[in-house]
Amino acid sequence: MHNKIIKILKENDLLKVIDEPLDIYLEIPHIAYIEVKQGISKALLFTNPIDKKNDKNFNTPILMNVFCSPKAVGLFIGDANKIADEIQSLLKMKPPQGWSDKIAMFGKLFNLKNVPPKRLKTKGECQDIIKKGDDAKLSDLPVLTTWEQDGGAFITMGQVYTQSLDGKMQNVGMYRLQVYNDGQLGMHWQIHKDSNHFFHEYKKAGKKMPVSIGIGGDPMYIWCGQAPLPIGVFELLLYGFVKKENAKLVKSITNDIYVPHDVDFVIEGFVDPDVLKIEGPFGDHTGYYTLEEEYPVLDVTCITSKKNPIFAATVVGKPLLEDKYMGYATERIFLPLLKTTAPDLIDYYMPENGVFHNLILAKINVSYPGHAQQMMHAFWGVGQMSFVKHAIFVGADAPELDDDIAITKWILNRIDTEELLITKGVVDALDHSSPRFALGGKLGIDCTGDEIEELGITILKDDELLKKMQNISKDIKDLKQYHTDTKNPIAVITVQKNRSQKYLFEELKPLFSHIKILIIVDEKNNDLENAYMLVWRVVNNIDSNRDIFIDGNTIAIDATNKNKLDNFLRRWPDDVICTKSVVDDLRKRKIIDCDNEFIKYWGIL
pLDDT at 456: 81
Give the DSSP H/E element, type plus range, for residue 23.
strand 22-23
pLDDT at 189: 86
**Letter for the amino acid at 123?**
K
- Is 325's pLDDT higher than 90? yes
- pLDDT class for 110, splitting at 50, 70, 90? low
Say what angle helices 580-588 and 27-35 make with each other, to 10 degrees: 80
pLDDT at 1: 41
pLDDT at 100: 60
Same-fold call for 342-447 versus 462-566: yes
pLDDT at 476: 98
Q: How far apart are CA 200 and CA 227, in angstroms?
A: 22
Q: What is the pTM of this model?
A: 0.94
Q: Among 445, 463, 546, which Cα is nearest to 500's?
A: 546
pLDDT at 195: 77
What kind of fold does domain 2-79+108-313 have according to CATH? Answer: Pnp Oxidase; Chain A (2.30.110)
141-168, pLDDT tens digit by residue? Answer: 999 999 999 999 999 999 999 999 999 9
82-101, pLDDT tens digit by residue? Answer: 999 988 887 765 665 665 65
CATH superfamily of 342-447: UbiD C-terminal domain-like (3.40.1670.10)
End-to-end CA, the chain: 37
- pLDDT class for 342, splitting at 50, 70, 90? confident
174-200, pLDDT tens digit by residue? Answer: 999 999 999 999 999 876 666 788 999
pLDDT at 97: 66
- Mean pLDDT within 421-437: 94
**Letter for the amino acid at 468?**
K
Burial class (CB in 10 A: 0-12, 13-18, 19+), 469: buried
Work out the percent of the chain whose per-residue pLDDT is above 90. 87
444-484, pLDDT tens digit by residue? Answer: 999 999 999 987 899 999 999 999 999 999 999 999 999 99
481-498, pLDDT tens digit by residue? Answer: 999 999 999 999 999 999
Q: Which of 17-31, 111-125, 187-201 has the highest mean pLDDT?
A: 17-31
Helices (H), 542-595: 544-547, 580-588
Q: φ and ψ at 360, to 5 degrees? A: -135, 140
Mean pLDDT score of the chain, rounded to an integer? 94
Burial class (CB in 10 A: 0-12, 13-18, 19+), 105: middle
pLDDT at 317: 97
pLDDT at 475: 98
For the four alpha carbons of 469, 473, 478 and 482, in that order, the dihedral sign comes to negative
- Is 586's pLDDT higher than 80? yes
Q: How far apart are CA 61 and CA 264, in angstroms?
A: 11
- Is 284's pLDDT higher than 90? yes
Q: Say if residues 82 and 27 touch (Cβ distance below 8 Å).
A: no
Say what angle helices 323-341 and 80-91 make with each other, to 10 degrees: 20
The three-class DSSP label of residue 280 is coil
Q: Say if residues 359 and 389 touch (Cβ distance below 8 Å).
A: yes
pLDDT at 381: 85
* Domain ranges (residues) in the chain: 2-79+108-313, 342-447, 462-566
CATH superfamily of 462-566: UbiD C-terminal domain-like (3.40.1670.10)
Q: How far apart are CA 266 and CA 303, in angstroms?
A: 6
- Is 2's pLDDT higher than 80? no
352-369, pLDDT tens digit by residue? Answer: 999 989 999 999 999 999
